[in-house]
Structure 1
């Protein structure tokens, strides 16, 4: 039967204690942080009995600590634990105990010596005589760490080898020496030794966009010039780029690397590529400005249509000469004539390109007194009607 003090402590703990993670589970507790004055940080944790064991990994406000000492004889009401703050996060390829050709990337919080005090330096070179002590929680995963396994501690340039190990008091003590082994298979970017012995090394794809800025009008398009490097070597064929637009209401971009202006505004278009999810993609960005679509004048035909003017046509001769213009761009002349059989050339459909604008003149209606034309200009999309009034068709 629990005592009154025990019941009071448990009630207070449940009401006022904070949630603390112990080996992934939640425990209620009280704690205080203590500084040793030697750069080490400790905490004293009070919990109910049998909630924390020596070597347990404890997270207090996301701070990782390892239980160094657990005291129960002080009280039958609470358990007092001394914790030390971890100063390392280790990532190591832990071999499969049933198949050492396979390994799994595993992370451990740990406590190491002061690395700067552990290095032996000769002529500015860190020698293999350097040694380091590392403490990890003893778990089913850390038990699979083997002698001669390699790991990085204290930065991505610090590879070490397991020279000895001891399991005691809920922790595994690793004694490390500097590793002079070839780092060909090391992931030096992330500080993971021998990673590429067991995993496929990712390729680095770098996307380059020639244009740094693009300015276009609403409804206009502009094609980007894009190239991709794989591990620093240009790919012979540019793959399909993955595009993103900071504001999809302003501009869009399609699989042909073509930007289209939608509404007035500014945005950024970013592109990248990688062959697999494990590859590394380095993208590029272009700044896009979309301006208002310019107002285009109407098509002007010369001479202007006049209901009171009649045009007489004679076989084999030009009767009337016309031109089309828009915003100062003028087409070559075009004529209405009668051939030797008295058939008016107004039946033709003619495209007239002056190099700046393309005009199409098409006869859509003809009778004895009137010829009707549809005129269009492809660059601006403008259209117009034009009529030629005939006095008579004479030979």
Structure 2
């Protein structure tokens, strides 16, 4: 350990103060900055062996400050940073509250042939991690500060960790009252099922046609939600789907149950005689149904259909088909004297399943 580190450890022990760097509790040294009077800013220095970068927040006695500059101390393990008090501002596009270093712009600027005094502009120093505003479209980025709405007329993003936004007064800020509601606040469904949530958002009582919504799930392993509110049940359990709009949100609770297993239904059948039918002979088809291995043939209700040749012979009375039970039919060669092939299909009308598909029936005449 270097001399500087040993000296630092002694100072921390006897002169250090407790506070936070971002959300992390720690102990550090704080000193006044030599440039405070020259720049008319209340600058302070922090010395710490913790991670520290520009744009970080420091909290001391519930007051929030921002680090605006850092430097590594040579031959030591600690970092020196410069920080200033940060004030609350609001990013108007999302109504997100953040803290920024705020400076009133002083001086004059040229407008045509005249020098105009600046009296309605502020510089806002903001952590890059807290703001998505870009220099490409500064005019679309509005800041609410001290009851006023400010247009971002320029954004300097050249510094590491921070943005410097120059804002010009636009108007007195008129607070918006936002609401959001969902088409359901509670749903129960089985695994793999889907449900479409729909949101209605208002701004000062007027429905917003295309609101910017943010969807989220409290447990995406139980149910997921996409960016248009379609919920997919994944696993049995409970979770909440949340939809956020500006500074308001609405939620729907989901109870996901285990998907019921589908019954395994199978069919079989036998003919009482051969399917080669001589003149005046007949054969009966008897169907059997099992559900999960249990005989459920009493549930069958067979329907039949012939191919075109068989349908013609049936209409002419040369063959007949008679329903014996719900699960059996008898086909008879009534009066076919020539060798003819026909086909019959049996369907269980209860399930729509083909029990016997396109079965060949060979009519042999008098042979």
Q: TM-score range by the shorter chain?
A: 0.3 to 0.5
TM-score (norm 2): 0.43
TM-score (norm 1): 0.40
Name the structure where strand makes up a greater proportion of residues. 2
